[in-house]
Structure 1
Amino acid sequence: MDRQTTASTCCYCGVGCGVLIEHDGERILGVSGDPAHPANFGKLCSKGSTLHLTGDLAARALHPELRLGKHLARSRCDWDTALEHAASVFADTVAEHGPDSVAFYISGQLLTEDYYAFNKLARALVGTNNIDSNSRLCMSSAVVGYKRSLGADAPPCSYEDLELSDCVMIVGSNMAYAHPVLFRRLENAKSRRPQMKVIVIDPRRTDTCDLADLHLAILPGTDVALFHGILHLLVWEDWIDRDFIQAHTDGLAELKSLVRDYTPAMVSQLCGISVEQLQQCAEWVGTSPSFLSLWCMGLNQSTAGSAKNSALINLHLATGQIGRRGAGPFSLTGQPNAMGGRETGSLSNLLPGHRDAANAEHRAQVAEYWGVERLPDVPGLSAVELFEQVRSGKIKALWIACTNPAQSMPDQNAVRAALEACPFVVLQEAFRTTETAAFADLLLPAASWGEKEGSVTNSERRISHVRKAISAPGDARPDWAITVDFAQRLEKRLRPGQPSLFAFEQPAQLFDEYKQLTRGRDLDLSGISHALIDRIGPQQWPFPADARQGTPRLYEDGIFPTDSGRAQFVADPYRAAKEQRDARFPLTLLTGRLRDQWHGMSRTGTAAQLFGHVGEAVLSLHPDELRRHRLRPGDLVNLKSRRGAVIVAVESDDSVRPGQAFLPMHWGDRFLKGGVNSLTLPAFDPLSKQPELKHSGVRLEPVELPWQLFALIEGDVQRHFEALRPLCEAFSYASFSLIGRERPALLIRAASSGAPDPLLLREIDQCLALIEGPVLAYDDPRRAIGKRVRIEHGRITAIRLAGETLAQHWLQGLWLDGRTDEQLRRWLLAPMSAPPGSAAAHGAPDKTLCNCKNVSHSAVCAGIEQGLDLPGLKDKLGCGTQCGSCVPEIKRLLASRSQPVAVT
């Protein structure tokens, strides 16, 4: 086998890690970190290191599919038929209803070249600003914060500043899970320089907090009050840089007048922290030689997201902590190329080169460059507004690319109703299994990671070349190529006889045209090309045409890209989150990330290994909250908001406060019936238009679902999933996950108030291959209880328990061990439901603590009992030696074992 290696970039978060793809020209065989890439120096997280295990071909969109009626099934077609039909529908829609009757909703996972093609298509050809990105859901408040305070959407720092800073403040980010490679870098810096102060501001006590010298568990949504309270103390104690303020900023007088009222006592009460904690935080910020802030969705996903961003940047301007080594406000980008999207203008209010669509001069500049008479001046629709207009019927044709709004948008019942009502929905997507795929009238198969070429920009403004290792499967094509092909067909209808705007044959041509729109702008990357990156490596912008290297830090000269050249203090008052706790909805629902899953799980959800740490959706509640509701871990509850409801199991978790609940954001309707975002609200920040996905009012209602189902089947997981998922719609509760490493299997848990129709159960058994063959079965129709197990070659290959599921963990353990217990046959053929003998005490199967080295939780605990410390565990078990994501959890286990036992 001819094994080759291709250097490329990871497709997950905004860290932008370099990867080495091992392949044979046809299949991707492995992946490792690229030691030469300056974003990660060879390190990868658990998600990046398993990229070669994802992208199951059975889950991929392989051929164009078209349906000619909403209630008809899609049929396979060729590319000509698909794109000619799409061009005809879009042209007719524009002709009859105007250009703003169509819209494009694209993704932070697209490459810069893809983005540019879509922008030119929407604005220059169709003539609409209705093009928005799912980056609206993650980074648009950071955009507004940077622009209002500093003059441009430009994170001023570099990753090396994490290692150089004397005080690092992490706000609204579980960095240990969301950006693990950067967190490891910070963790290593802290171990080398213990005097470095780390402050974590988060309502939950996450794994990130294990590194903190100070954790401020503020009440959700009170960040602006906290930052104003810190500034109040900075001014009071004279911990400000008066020379920097006088020389380089405007607006402090107005801000000082505002923050005068944010006294320590007031802020302590508003935020739910002690005055001492607030004072300690302010002292470290104000007296440390260098101060760096890092933030993510906890600040951005809020109806006050723009105010939160600017209030944090105010602290840097007041202390002069910007444009220096180890200092500055540094947003952590959520998606691999959300930065590239912002650069190319892929939000409805932006244009390429950090221009504004509302600015007539900016529109004229881009129109002249593109060779069109004018660009549209009607404001475009942001994501939430866009789907509202789809639902109302104003948007009649919608093109979605590389994103899954039927999982990720808030208020899912409204979004799904909009997609159902839209006359024509195009989905350009690599995975046909996403929740949105069910609504597509036209499905266009796109190339995925390792199969296409282009560029991405990471959180530190570093542009990397994404290289193609293998050809895309089936008929799948790169996103830019699909977009350009469609545009060429559409312009024959909208601009007949005129020169083509889309004469592109290679992605490098798109980049080279786009970069000229940045010339002379704050992000000038006119000196960068694919070939240059290949020659000297990934580079940070600005990188003008005469540059020899990128720019690691911005604003070192104290000059900002504003009209005055000065940064601006922003005085926004604290405003509470949209939904506060009340008698009807007494809990605040927080959402966040898991360690080994990413976003909507369209990719990570195809790898069983990534379910090992957390296998299913579970609602985390403080132990006091469980007692108050008379719940036990594992109980099912009906979790309700003002918009929807989802049935989910609960767990005890003292990392959340009483009055709060936490549910990971990844679980869509595919894996949890209803999905998390059926609960979240569409209210958004008035400036950034970013919705408040982090903060919803909810309540718990008891649910009685005594009839339960447990099923497991190994083999072709995707085929089993497609067969069984629709059948489980009959149950009130249904949860799906994958388990196993060597032998992946689909696992289903479901429940309902009573036994289902026997025909439905038989259909489920048919899908589980539990009707014929080497199947052991026991049925008690009177009690609506039954159990079936398929045993092949001395090993369990499928299980179904119906009615009650006391033996589920025992059987799952037998399956994982690849064996059959000597008592299995006796139990199967007897009325007993609980597992036999000592197995009755058998709890949930052991979880995988270290995914990289496949080390279980019990193995780590056993090592600790033997007296091993962290280095000893790493040496003996290998855990924590690769990506390090498991280290915080191991440290907690070590700490809990070291606590003395009270003797009475």
Structure 2
Amino acid sequence: MNIPIIPETASSVRTTCPYCGVGCGVRATVHADGTTEISGDTQHPANAGRLCVKGSALDETIGLDGRLLYPHMRDSSTSNLQRTSWNQALDTVAQGFSDIIKRHGPDAVAFYVSGQLLTEDYYIANKLMKGYIGSANIDTNSRLCMSSAVAGHKRAFGADLMPVCYEDLELADLVVLIGSNTAWCHPVLFQRIAKIRETRPAMKLVVIDPRRTATCELADLHLPVKAGTDVWLFNGLLHYLSQHGKTDAAFVAAHTNGLDEALAAAAASSADPLTVAKICKVNVRDLLAFYDLFASTEKVVSAFSQGVNQSSAGTDKVNSIINCHLLSGRIGRPGMGPFSITGQPNAMGGREVGGLANMLAAHMDLDNPAHRQTVQTFWNAPRIADKPGLKAVDLFQAIEQGKVKAVWIMATNPVVSLPDADQVQRALARCELVVVSDITEKTDTNDYAHVLLPALGWGEKDGTVTNSERRISRQRPFLSPPGEARADWQILCSVAQRMGFDGFRYQSVHEIFDEHARLTAHDNAAENTGRQPRLLNLSGLCGMSKTQFNAMQPVQWPVMPAAHDEPQGTQRLFTDHHFVHPDGKARFIPTAPRTPKNMPDQDYPLSLNTGRVRDQWHTMTRSGKSPKLNNHITESFIDMHPQDALLCGVREGSLARVSSPWGAMVARVQHGGGIPRGSIFVPIHWNNQSASDARIGAVVNPVVDPISGEPEFKHTPVRVEEFPVSWHGFILSRHDLALGEIAHWGRIQGRALTHYEVAGRNQISHHGQWARQLFGIHDPDADWLEYEDKTAAIYRAVHIRDDRIESCLFLSPRPDLPSRTWLASLFAKDMLEEADRVGLLIGQPIEKGIDTGSTICSCFGVGRNTICDTIRQQNITSVAQVTSCLKAGGNCGSCVPEIKKLLELTMAATEEN
């Protein structure tokens, strides 16, 4: 891997993982030969050395293949992006924004940013847009995952505050995971829960999720609620707690308001458990078991994620959960509280500096004149935004309508990730000026850029991030900036200066962090303001030298000055039961349940749920570069119940089209066993770079929560129908191929090869000629293995060069083709054996045990067949025994639920035989 390095000898740098909101510490060791070794940071409190498989594979994602290294501008005559100078690109951006503001006003421009930015980048973007341009049209892709939690926290507590810490998950006697496949999406947190349960078997785990996910494999109780019914469920719990006297009357009386209204709303919708069970489509005995468990257990943590937030009723769902903790007084003490598990590495840091369109920096409110004055004065800004800007979905609708004429997109890929993604394409296609800052040259969004700016990536960036437990960590560089790439804050400052704005002459990221810290402390004391002090207070981090900033240890805010050198962080909030509303009390919020606006009907009878898979991240621009991560799930899929598949006329393994009133996509049908009837699940990651037609965002409806603006990713009415093809196939090749006109294709990077899944509607009359042309083989004497059964329409071809497999092609009218895992293993051989050649011709390995099967444990590359064979041969009865024999499950542990499931299936099959 050709990577520029800073040191000439091996050195270890402590930094932070760029994936989920757990915020794990990472040690990156760069060796003299340019290779990088990644390990968990044993000193970081979030993970104590643990890393999930995505974090462990970070070294495979930092190569320069596919990197955007130089500024580009679109040539008006050819419509192609052409390399240009930084001066030309920055002048174009600054002049373009200035001209549009002069002609149409500040609300005609916008920024769309990302939880992938560091806090300092976010701070500069927010300062430029809200304080100098004078518009609040800056929103973030965190709108898509965390804004309902933000809105719920503000309603209940008075500010966007996370009361608990990770340790509470280990101290709790009951952990309730709601709408969170924690085992796959936040594996290190899940392993902390799993580990503590080994020493405390009495600790209970309840999972509330419409799907039976990997997380459910370790649960004591799974409530498979119908999607969208969470408010009914938790209103029922609130009513149950009230009726059974499981309340903290003293806490409620002294520290809350609004209980009567909240109880009335709960009684009106969810007083009868039988009714709740019917609406939620769960067994009433299981429902009452959950209610009783919550009521009888003092130390309860209710952790929720996208299944709660990504809803047109997401804010009410959040508050219905918080209501139950307020009624029982389970907040502000160890081992208890509501816990929003953040999706992105710096979603919280972005919110701290006002990255959302309805917020100001330092947790100040845009609709509060005193707060606006505080921020404007501190920034010495010529103006300040005085009304909320456009939230993400509204923003791109305004672009299509011509109301917003320039947009700057940073570190995100909205053409894939936003709902109604085809509308985003239309919007960008007609936008007067589209600027994109990215590290990847080719993305779906970059296709619409007029100016493309190369940013620094993970390993090169310097600054801070804040994780789900309010812990600020340093992200430190260990690689040199490649090409002409620059930090996002530097790019923003250069544009701001060209627009004639003072206040952006920073020399280092340390200066920006210090300004951010000082703003959190500015005008932030009750005795000085007559208001409740803001809990986001970094006064203990103000005035650090650059050396102190570089050495800063992970710390949870608020951070207050201490007598000793180390600033004093805060593990939990509300320990004094004092909240941030003007009267110091928390608010119960009445939550009246409502059904989603768009319900399944005759034309669209199924409900679409979207989400992540274990080893991929967002739109795969980072994780898709890792062969280790790509081995787990190699193509997009449609998970659906077998009876629904039968009614739709599709079969497992076949291709199908999912369509809604907003768009369509194509993927392969599977029966994962965890999806209820009436629903389907499709992952969010695949895009136009990795598949011909797999952007699920195009299908998702653009309905949003009226309070938070967060889209309804978990409930879109769809139909599923056959995508007819004449043949199926796959290609493995050491080189990228031009596939030409093929009805369906998917592409993923393997180790030393590229893997294509293909399907076509055309009849191939001369397979050999077509295959040679596809592989670019013109030598009639090339080492070429070929098999064709014209009756069965099966064709196999292999190109061998210097006794090494160069590429292979397998075609069949049926989708059940030979094992890709076995064939991929042949690419690692320096010389093919005769048995390999025979196996290639007959389409299966000659020797038993060669085909390891699809990857289950990505950390150690252990396949399904290997695990199942070992279980049978060794009479294994526990996951620990599997780990002892094969190492599988012994590193990050995210595959443990899958191993457990395989163990149960294999043991059951053995008993039957």
TM range (shorter): over 0.9
Does the residue aligned with 2:111 lie in a helix, a strand or coil? strand
Q: Name the residue aligned to 1:288.
A: 297
Q: Name the residue aligned to 1:212.
A: 219
For this pair of structures, how many residues does the alignment match? Answer: 879
Q: Does the 8 Å contact 1:770/1:789 carry over to 2? A: no
Which is further off, 376-385 or 161-170?
A: 376-385
Q: Which of 267, 280, 286 pairs up with 1:271?
A: 280
Q: Does the 8 Å contact 2:836/2:845 carry over to 1? A: no
Q: 1:663 Cα shift?
A: 1.0
Q: Which of 611, 617, 622 pairs up with 2:641?
A: 622
- Identity across matched positions, percent: 40
Unaligned runs of 5+ in 1: 829-833
1:540 and 2:551 matched: no
Distance 1:33 1:902, change over 3 A: closer
Q: Does the 8 Å contact 1:640/1:700 carry over to 2? A: yes
Q: Could you give the per-residue CA deviations for residues 634-668 of structure 1, whole angstroms, max 9, x where no partner exists?
A: 11112111111112110112211111111111122
Question: Which residue identity lines up with residue 250 of structure 1 in the other structure?
Answer: N
Q: Distance in 2 between matches of 1:277 and 1:795?
A: 58
Q: Distance in 1 between matches of 2:327 and 2:670?
A: 43
Q: Does the 8 Å contact 1:810/1:839 carry over to 2? A: no
Q: Which of 127, 131, 135 pairs up with 1:124?
A: 131
Q: Name the residue aligned to 1:457.
A: 466
Q: Does the 8 Å contact 1:810/1:842 carry over to 2? A: no
Distance 1:801 1:859, change over 3 A: closer
Q: Distance in 2 between matches of 1:537 and 1:91?
A: 41
Q: Does the 8 Å contact 1:672/1:736 carry over to 2? A: yes
Q: 1:93 Cα shift?
A: 1.2
Question: Which residue identity lines up with residue 13 of structure 1 in the other structure?
Answer: C
Does the residue aligned with 1:888 lie in a helix, a strand or coil? helix
1:523 and 2:536 matched: yes
Q: 1:794 Cα shift?
A: 2.1
Q: Distance in 1 between matches of 2:905 and 2:641?
A: 19
Q: Which of 247, 250, 256 pairs up with 1:243?
A: 250
Q: Does the 8 Å contact 2:728/2:815 carry over to 1? A: no
1:574 and 2:593 matched: yes
Does the residue aligned with 2:540 lie in a helix, a strand or coil? coil
Q: How does 1:129-528 map to 2 (within 5 A)?
A: 129-261=136-268, 262=270, 263-491=272-500, 500-519=502-521, 520=524, 521-528=534-541
Distance 1:28 1:688, change over 3 A: farther
Q: Distance in 2 between matches of 1:283 and 1:15?
A: 30
Q: Name the residue aligned to 1:690.
A: 710
Q: Name the residue aligned to 1:831.
A: none
Q: Which of 899, 902, 909 pairs up with 1:890?
A: 899
Q: Distance in 2 between matches of 1:573 and 1:459?
A: 28
Q: How does 1:690-729 map to 2 (within 5 A)?
A: 690-715=710-735, 720=736, 724=738, 727-728=739-740
Distance 1:708 1:864, change over 3 A: closer
TM-score by length of structure 1 reads 0.93
Q: Name the residue aligned to 1:739.
A: 750
1:748 and 2:756 matched: yes
TM-score by length of structure 2 reads 0.92
Q: Distance in 2 between matches of 1:696 and 1:366?
A: 40
Distance 1:810 1:271, change over 3 A: closer
Q: Does the 8 Å contact 1:150/1:568 carry over to 2? A: yes
Q: 1:444 Cα shift?
A: 0.6
Q: Does the 8 Å contact 1:647/1:732 carry over to 2? A: no
Question: Which residue identity lines up with residue 476 of structure 2 in the other structure?
Answer: R
Q: 1:28 Cα shift?
A: 5.1
Q: Distance in 2 between matches of 1:467 and 1:249?
A: 42
Q: Distance in 1 between matches of 2:192 and 2:114?
A: 28
Q: Distance in 1 between matches of 2:349 and 2:880?
A: 40
Q: Could you give the per-residue CA deviations for residues 786-821 of structure 1, whole angstroms, max 9, x where no partner exists?
A: 654210232321123467577952576234234657
Q: Distance in 2 between matches of 1:329 and 1:297?
A: 14
Q: Name the residue aligned to 2:582.
A: 563
Which is further off, 520-529 or 145-154?
A: 520-529
Q: Distance in 1 between matches of 2:647 and 2:582?
A: 57
Q: 1:546 Cα shift?
A: 4.6
Q: How does 1:9-88 map to 2 (within 5 A)?
A: 9-24=16-31, 27=34, 29-69=36-76, 72-88=79-95
Distance 1:648 1:243, change over 3 A: same
Q: 1:628 Cα shift?
A: 3.3
Question: Which residue identity lines up with residue 511 of structure 1 in the other structure?
Answer: F
Does the residue aligned with 1:646 lie in a helix, a strand or coil? strand
Q: Name the residue aligned to 1:107.
A: 114
Q: Distance in 1 between matches of 2:772 and 2:508?
A: 50
Question: Which residue identity lines up with residue 601 of structure 2 in the other structure?
Answer: D
Distance 1:457 1:608, change over 3 A: same
Distance 1:757 1:115, change over 3 A: farther
Q: 1:132 Cα shift?
A: 0.4
Q: Does the 8 Å contact 2:641/2:676 carry over to 1? A: yes
Q: Name the residue aligned to 1:600.
A: 619
Q: 1:95 Cα shift?
A: 1.1
Question: Which residue identity lines up with residue 146 of structure 1 in the other structure?
Answer: H
Q: 1:389 Cα shift?
A: 0.9
Q: 1:625 Cα shift?
A: 2.3
Q: 1:429 Cα shift?
A: 0.4
Q: Distance in 1 between matches of 2:865 and 2:452?
A: 45
Which is further off, 85-94 or 138-147?
A: 85-94
Q: Distance in 2 between matches of 1:581 and 1:709?
A: 34
Which is further off, 751-760 or 28-37?
A: 751-760
Question: Which residue identity lines up with residue 604 of structure 2 in the other structure?
Answer: F
Distance 1:288 1:811, change over 3 A: closer
Q: Does the 8 Å contact 1:293/1:328 carry over to 2? A: yes
Q: Does the 8 Å contact 2:109/2:404 carry over to 1? A: yes
1:653 and 2:669 matched: no
Q: Distance in 2 between matches of 1:278 and 1:72?
A: 59
Q: Distance in 1 between matches of 2:84 and 2:367?
A: 40
Q: Distance in 2 between matches of 1:337 and 1:688?
A: 19
Q: Does the 8 Å contact 1:755/1:803 carry over to 2? A: no
Q: Distance in 2 between matches of 1:239 and 1:522?
A: 30
Q: Name the residue aligned to 1:776.
A: 784
Q: Does the 8 Å contact 2:540/2:568 carry over to 1? A: no
Question: Which residue identity lines up with residue 539 of structure 2 in the other structure?
Answer: S
Distance 1:82 1:321, change over 3 A: same
Q: Distance in 1 between matches of 2:825 and 2:691?
A: 23
Q: Distance in 1 between matches of 2:172 and 2:357?
A: 36
Question: Which residue identity lines up with residue 16 of structure 1 in the other structure?
Answer: G
Q: 1:682 Cα shift?
A: 0.9
Q: 1:152 Cα shift?
A: 1.0
Q: Could you give the per-residue CA deviations for residues 181-221 of structure 1, whole angstroms, max 9, x where no partner exists?
A: 01100111111111111111000011111221111000001
Q: Name the residue aligned to 1:678.
A: 698
Does the residue aligned with 1:57 lie in a helix, a strand or coil? coil
Q: Name the residue aligned to 1:668.
A: 687
Q: 1:683 Cα shift?
A: 0.6
Question: Which residue identity lines up with residue 360 of structure 2 in the other structure?
Answer: L
Which is further off, 840-849 or 49-58?
A: 840-849
Q: Which of 596, 600, 609 pairs up with 2:628?
A: 609
Q: Could you give the per-residue CA deviations for residues 452-476 of structure 1, whole angstroms, max 9, x where no partner exists?
A: 2100000000001111112111111
Distance 1:238 1:59, change over 3 A: same
Q: 1:431 Cα shift?
A: 1.0
